[in-house]
């Protein structure tokens, strides 16, 4: 089993709050202030081994990342199953709200998408086992710790998974620059899965062919595409808006 080093105060704090198993905590020696004290207090309460280290050691652990004086050593991320994602929605008496990421390769994009998805109440994210970023140290940091609260399933075949979801009553909406209609003119209510494609190539042909509807985001500038995590955020919150439009915030 491959262990992971998670760096940064927010990601480590979320690990502690989620009762994630932490093998060891590395804290920079010296007078540290702010949230680091909350991290130390929680770690001591949970009897987690704390090692005080110098900056050189922590820089080495972080491998060039911004550690903010703290790192945690944890067991590798445990992926969920698609059924676990669906059961989560069922246990909350909600229609399933799922993201399908078709070969998102940049871990920063994956982390940013996970962060938005967690904030918006997405029940889970599905990624392919091959040709995709997976949950690692960079993803944890980019998600600000949200990866610890999000179910992520890695599947062998995205197309087959989409077909299975459709059989279970979900509608599949793919984000595509040549989509049939704008996202805000499309009903995204009920059991929904949004498909976000690769940063450069978009959604692959077979996946696109198995979507129920292809939707597009309006573009008025000289650049014809958005970053994958930005596109995901726009579509995710359109689903939220449509399904909660009668609520008072």
Q: Based on the domain organization, do 53 and 121 belong to the same domain?
A: no
187 within a domain of the structure (yes/no): yes
Q: Based on the domain organization, do 53 and 8 belong to the same domain?
A: yes
- More confident: 249 or 164: 164
Do the beta carbons of residue 26 and residue 32 sit within 8 Å?
no
The C-alpha angle 103, 108, 110, rounded to 5 degrees, equals 45
Q: Based on the domain organization, do 26 and 48 belong to the same domain?
A: yes
Q: Is the pLDDT of residue 247 over 70?
A: no
Q: Give the pLDDT of residue 199.
A: 86
pLDDT digits (tens, 9 = 90+) for 53-111: 999 999 999 888 889 999 999 988 889 999 999 999 999 999 999 999 999 999 999 99
Average pLDDT of the chain? Answer: 92
pTM for the structure as a whole = 0.87
Helix then strand count (H, E) for the chain reads 9, 11
Q: Give the pLDDT of residue 100.
A: 98
For residue 225, give the CATH number of its domain.
3.40.1280.10
Among 115-119, 195-199, 242-246, the range scoring the smallest mean pLDDT is 242-246
180 within a domain of the structure (yes/no): yes
Q: Give the pLDDT of residue 14.
A: 87
For residue 25, give the CATH number of its domain.
3.30.1330.30
Query: What is the residue whose two structure tokens read 């994009």?
Result: 109
Pairing of strands 70-74, 171-175: unpaired
**Total structural domains in the chain?**
2
137 within a domain of the structure (yes/no): yes
Total residues found in the chain within this entry: 249
Q: Based on the domain organization, do 133 and 18 belong to the same domain?
A: no
Pairing of strands 171-175, 213-216: parallel
Q: Based on the domain organization, do 86 and 29 belong to the same domain?
A: no
DSSP element (H, E) containing 25: strand 24-28
Q: What's the half-sphere exposure (Cβ side, CA atoms, 13 Å) at 30?
A: 10
Q: Based on the domain organization, do 153 and 213 belong to the same domain?
A: yes
Q: Is the pLDDT of residue 166 over 60?
A: yes
Q: Based on the domain organization, do 199 and 104 belong to the same domain?
A: yes
What residue numbers bound the domain in which 21 lies? 4-74
Domain boundary among 74, 109, 127: 74
How far, rounded to the nearest angstrom, does the alpha carbon of residue 165 sit from its chain's CA centroid? 20
SS3 173: strand
Q: Give the pLDDT of residue 141.
A: 85
Q: Is the pLDDT of residue 249 over 50?
A: no
pLDDT digits (tens, 9 = 90+) for 192-219: 999 999 988 889 999 999 999 999 999 8
Q: Based on the domain organization, do 157 and 218 belong to the same domain?
A: yes
């Amino acid at each position: 089993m491959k262990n992971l080093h998670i760096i940064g105060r927010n990601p480590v704090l979320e690990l502690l709050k989620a009762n994630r198993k932490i093998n060891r905590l590395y804290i920079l020696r010296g007078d540290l202030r702010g949230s680091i004290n909350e991290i130390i207090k929680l770690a001591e309460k949970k009897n987690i081994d704390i090692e005080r280290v110098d900056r050189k050691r922590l820089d080495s652990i972080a491998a060039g990342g911004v550690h903010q004086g703290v790192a945690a050593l944890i067991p590798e991320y445990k992926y969920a199953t698609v059924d676990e994602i669906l059961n989560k929605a069922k246990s909350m008496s909600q229609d399933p709200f799922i993201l399908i990421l078709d070969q998102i390769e940049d871990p920063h994009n994956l982390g940013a998408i996970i962060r938005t998805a967690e904030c918006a109440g997405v029940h889970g994210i599905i990624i392919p086992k091959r040709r995709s970023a997976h949950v690692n140290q960079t993803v944890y940091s980019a998600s600000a710790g949200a990866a610890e609260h999000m179910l992520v399933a890695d599947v062998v075949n995205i197309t087959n998974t989409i077909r299975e979801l459709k059989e279970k009553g979900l509608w599949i909406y793919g984000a595509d620059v040549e989509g049939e209609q704008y996202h805000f003119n499309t009903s995204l209510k009920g059991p929904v899965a949004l498909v976000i494609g690769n940063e450069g190539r978009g959604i692959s042909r077979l996946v696109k062919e198995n979507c129920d509807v292809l939707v597009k985001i309006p573009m008025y500038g000289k650049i014809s595409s958005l970053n994958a995590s930005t596109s995901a955020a726009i579509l995710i919150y359109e689903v939220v808006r449509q399904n909660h439009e009668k609520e008072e915030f």
